[in-house]
Structure 1
Amino acid sequence: MLRDVLLDLPVRPALAPLLRALTDAGGAVLVAPPGTGKTTLAPLAVADGVPGRVLVAQPRRVAARAAARRMADLLGERVGQRVGYAVRGDRRVGPGTRVEVVTTGLLVRRLLRDPDLPGVDAVLLDEVHERQLDADLALAFAVEARAALRPELWLVAMSATPEADRFAALLGGDTPAPVVRAEAALHPVARVFTPPPRPVAPPGAGRVDPLLLDHVAATVRRALHEQDGDVLVFLPGAGEIGAVARRLADLADRVAVLPLHGRLPAAAQDAALRPADRRRVVLATSVAESSLTVPGVRVVVDAGLARVARTDLSRGLGALVTVPVSRAAATQRAGRAGRQGPGVVYRCWSEGTHGRLAAQPEPDIATADLTGFALDLAAWGSPDGAGLALPD
């Protein structure tokens, strides 16, 4: 299928080594920073190496749909022909589909139902560095299914970060799987630290301080005045996106203000991922950190917050809380401004605060409610996870 695509992205030189690694070892880790094209071109290349279907697992529904649409566009086809997708409540595949993009949660369900994945010859797990619960389970189940039932199944773990050794060890067993690396293609991104003029309340289980949202809206106005190109704004959730959109409502006659989060209808998500006839301000959650490309973006405004799952020990239940973003995630967000040319990121915190941020986000398995996770392990036949290839 890659033969039909003329697009020359930075990941392309790494695809031949990837196929050699899979032919020799059956598993591989592909490390490719955002913007190199791994999500777009690697599945098409792998499809050229196997006769059956290729499953590509994405952590988020919006990313799964966007990846399938991008690959289908490159092939000059509609989604549902050689490239399709399946997410909760929506599936577009056909008898001739060779590459199917699914969410990691859906892949877990398929593995629980039919561990040998009939008709599937390769599984690519994208953004494994994010360490979501479903992603960890999908990797562990796929590794065990390959070892016990499908030794010919190709497995690829794809990551945007260079910390690939743990995944290489999990995929390879006694001998670590090969690691194939693609070079970054980011343009330089200038960093501007712009903390709020007055102290704001720290994030937590309650609402985000309205003073911070006022400051984010003011920073967007500043960015529109000082820079060219579209603006991508990172906010922790749909509520904050709506609040900042209301603060920018007076710009509607000259700027398109568009939300982008997982609760939106598919048509609204698609609108945020298409170029427009005027400047755009895309207000997004962390869904836009990786996998998705928002065209035209030359400026990022980062509120510095993320919404994550945590266990509320006082109630014994899972809950969503707002936390400061990690330095790794902040770097990923900033890189979105350098996909198509030199860009600028406005960080709504101080340089001193940046140095105190956690280096990496905590994996869900260390902080989230593990009730569903434990039930899935029990359904798999390993209630305590013993012997499974779960990342540390």
Structure 2
Amino acid sequence: MAVQPQPTTGVQARGVLVEKTPLETYVPPAKPSLVGLSRAELADCIGQAGVPENQRKMRVQQLWHWIYVRGVRTFGEMTNVSKALRVELEKHFTIDRPEVVAEQISEDGTRKWLLRLPSGHAAERPHEVECVYIPETDRGTLCVSSQVGCTLNCSFCHTGTQRLVRNLTAGEIAGQVMIARDRLGDWIDRETPNGNRLVTNIVMMGMGEPLYNFDAVRDALAIVSDNEGIAISRRRITLSTSGVVPNIVRAGEEIGSMLAISLHAVRDDLRNELVPLNRKYPIAELLEACRNYPGLSNARRITFEYVMLKGVNDSLDDAKWLVKLLKGIPAKINLIPFNPWPGSSYQCSDWDQIEKFSEYIFNAGYSSPVRTPRGRDILAACGQLKSETEKLSARERQALRAMAMTD
């Protein structure tokens, strides 16, 4: 049975809810998917299907290649696997990934997929998450979710207004990358003049706090970065956290990806409001963990994300304090114009103020790119993801487009 505490249950600090408790636990379907399993786990599964121990390593390599290099959807497509084994695997397992139930394509080419997750739990409403693909001239970035909902409740983030339903499994996380390759035709047989991949970069910046689903995120990213599988370099994978201090160094040791910190404020009193987790892990503790991040260097800088909120955190004094705080940390500061969503009380900083803020940081010796808002018209931009199945009214969509055009 799934655990269903009250939606407001969670960890509090000074009377403020800083972490939500999951409403449910994962229940596997009757025929579980092999997607997301390690090689050792795959060996156990095919052992259950009757494969002798001395053949398991070879069979695992075959399955691994078909699943993560070829991207097949059925066992019947695995032509170098014996028919008897394919039939036996079909009896007990699938190679399912999440199901695409809706696709939206922005005017700028950004794609957002609403994904339904397979589960053995007879929930009243199927579990769903969102995943976003952002095409650029030199790369294609996939924004991946780690939870249904979010553990945290950052006040400027649309996803933070949602309940935390449950953590995703490793298969559901890796499956988002596979779905993107499915939809884009980006598997090994894709015919292009230069053979370049469309999905080149992964950012764990979708729904959820990745470091509160540590094991599944670690295991999924091990599959995504495996050179004999999906093969996206760890240098092209960025894990973003709002500041789960105990797991930051561990992430460097066990995951080894690039790190991004959702900072957004330079004073504890303001960050307590914007990112309530700060009440548990204040700025000083967070930055100390960053200084100790394994492999930190000028070649492997930490990205500090800073959403620009008009009249809240965008003054030149804030810029000066930001530079002081990050002194000695190899860093890039990514300035994010606030992306509006229905019901938000914040506004995006004026563009000239963003430029002044960026210029000060740049003159202090830090890279300070301003992230170009992508997919605002389909609520696919940073901080806008929310998987609730109710649809926005036409009036709400029109209002969002109008806000995007004026920023």
Greater share of strand residues, 1 or 2? 1
TM-score range, shorter chain: under 0.3
| Rg larger in structure | 2
Task: Report the TM-score, using the length of structure 1 for normalisation.
Answer: 0.22
